[in-house]
C-alpha cells in the first residue's frame, strides 16, 4: 500500500488543479514539460493544421528529423498526450464497404498549444545563454569537419 498522504496523488488533500502538483514541501509546482518525443509529436500535430492521423505524425517526425523511431512509440506518445489533455482523440469508423480498421484522429487542444508555447519560451532562454557563451558557434565549428568527412566532433556534442 502506498504511503504519504490521503489524496489521489499521494499528497495530503490531493490535487487542487490538473496543471499543478505538490512538491514535498507542499508548494504547488508546474508539471514537467514534455519530453523530446512528446514535443516532436505535439509539433507535428500543430504543424499539420487541424487534424492528423498517427501515421502522418510519424512521417512528419521522420522527414524533419531524419531520426529512426518506431511507429508504436508514436502511438503510445499520442495516447499519453491525449490523457494529459494536450490532444483530443476521435475515432472514425471505416467507410461502409471499405473495410479496414477504425482510424484515430488527433487534434491539438488549447492546453497542448499552451504547453508548446511554454516549452518554446524555456528553450529560447537556454539558446540565448548558449549563444552568449559561444557554445552554438563552437558546436558548428566542431561539426563542420565531420560533415566534410573529416575528424569526429569534440566530446559532448553528440
Where do the domains of the chain lie?
A: 21-147
Mean pLDDT of 20-43: 71
Domain 21-147 has CATH 3.40.50.1980: no
Whole-number percent of the chain with pLDDT over 70: 68
Confidence class of residue 114 from pLDDT cuts 50, 70 and 90? very high
Q: How far is CA 86 from CA 27, 45, 128, in A?
A: 24, 10, 27
Which residue, 7, 1, 102, 88, is CA-closest to 50? 88
Residues 6+ apart with CB under 8 A from 51: 90, 105, 106, 107
Residues 6+ apart with CB under 8 A from 47: 60
Q: What is the DSSP letter of 154?
A: P
The pLDDT score that the predictor gives to residue 66 is 84
pTM for this predicted structure: 0.62
Distance CA 58, CA 141 (A): 31
Residue 87, all three cell numbers: 490532444
pLDDT per position as a tens digit, 51-62: 899 999 999 999
Which residue, 71, 36, 37, 35, is CA-closest to 54? 71
3-state secondary structure 29-88: ECCCCCCHHHHHHHHHHHHHCCCEEHHHHHHHHHHHHCCCCCHHHHHHHHHHHHHCCCEE
Amino acid at each position: 500500500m502506498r504511503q504519504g498522504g490521503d489524496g489521489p496523488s499521494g499528497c495530503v488533500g490531493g490535487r487542487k488543479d490538473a496543471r499543478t502538483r505538490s512538491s514535498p514541501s507542499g508548494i504547488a509546482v508546474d508539471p514537467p514539460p514534455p519530453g523530446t518525443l512528446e514535443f516532436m509529436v505535439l509539433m507535428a500535430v500543430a504543424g499539420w493544421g487541424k487534424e492528423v492521423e498517427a501515421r502522418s505524425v510519424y512521417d512528419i517526425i521522420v522527414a524533419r528529423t531524419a531520426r529512426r523511431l518506431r511507429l508504436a512509440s508514436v502511438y503510445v506518445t499520442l495516447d499519453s498526450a491525449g490523457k494529459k489533455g494536450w490532444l483530443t482523440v476521435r475515432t472514425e469508423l471505416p467507410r461502409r464497404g471499405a473495410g479496414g480498421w477504425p482510424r484515430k484522429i488527433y487534434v491539438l487542444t488549447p492546453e497542448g498549444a499552451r504547453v508548446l508555447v511554454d516549452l518554446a519560451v524555456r528553450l529560447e532562454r537556454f539558446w540565448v545563454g548558449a549563444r552568449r557563451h559561444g557554445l552554438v558557434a563552437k558546436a558548428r565549428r566542431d561539426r563542420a569537419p565531420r560533415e566534410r568527412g573529416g575528424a569526429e566532433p569534440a566530446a559532448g556534442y553528440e
